[in-house]
Amino acid sequence: MRVPRLLIEGPLAAGERELDADAAHYLVSVLRRRVGDALRVFDGAGTCADARVLVAERRRCVVELEAPFNEHVESPLAVHLGIALSRGERMDVALQKACELGVRSITPLFTERTEVRLDGKRRDNRLRHWAEVLRPAAQQSGRTVLPTLAQPRTLDAH
């Protein structure tokens, strides 16, 4: 059986770690992991740790982390993707696929024909949403480092 991977916030250290509610729900309800099951956690910056589930409740999960280690599975190519903003799910899918393909950094671009308008609070909400889109893509694709997501800008911006 495949060992699931889970992105968790903050530095990894050996010992018990309680997962946040979303991660607990994903691990217990979606992946159907139970007490004693193995998993691998990573912090999105290249550090991983093997773990075992100690408590598996619907909205609460505690895992026992082993000693963390650096795992380098990233492409040696430093690919930066400038992608024109698109509406709805199309942008989410493009970000997912870029992450799965190993892109290291992504800049959303306002182009001449871009119909998406982002300013102020809406821009912040979109960036937060896109960052959340990258998390499961990294978990699924086996990456240990999340791609960086830049602020949307125009092509001629420096």
pLDDT digits (tens, 9 = 90+) for 7-46: 998 899 999 999 988 889 989 998 899 999 999 999 988 8
Helix (H) or strand (E) holding 120: none
Q: 32 with 39: CB under 8 angstroms?
A: no
Helix, strand counts (H, E) of the chain? 3, 10
Nearest-angstrom CA–CA distance, 67 and 26: 23
pTM: 0.80
Q: Pick from 50, 41, 38: which is nearest to 10 by CA?
A: 41
For residue 114, the 8-state DSSP code is -
For residue 32, the 8-state DSSP code is -
Q: Could you tell me where the DSSP H helices lie in 86-150?
A: 89-100, 121-141
List the chain pLDDT tens, one digit each, 158 residues: 688 899 998 899 999 999 988 889 989 998 899 999 999 999 988 899 999 999 998 778 999 999 999 988 888 889 999 999 888 899 999 999 999 999 999 999 988 887 777 778 888 899 999 999 999 999 888 899 999 999 988 888 65
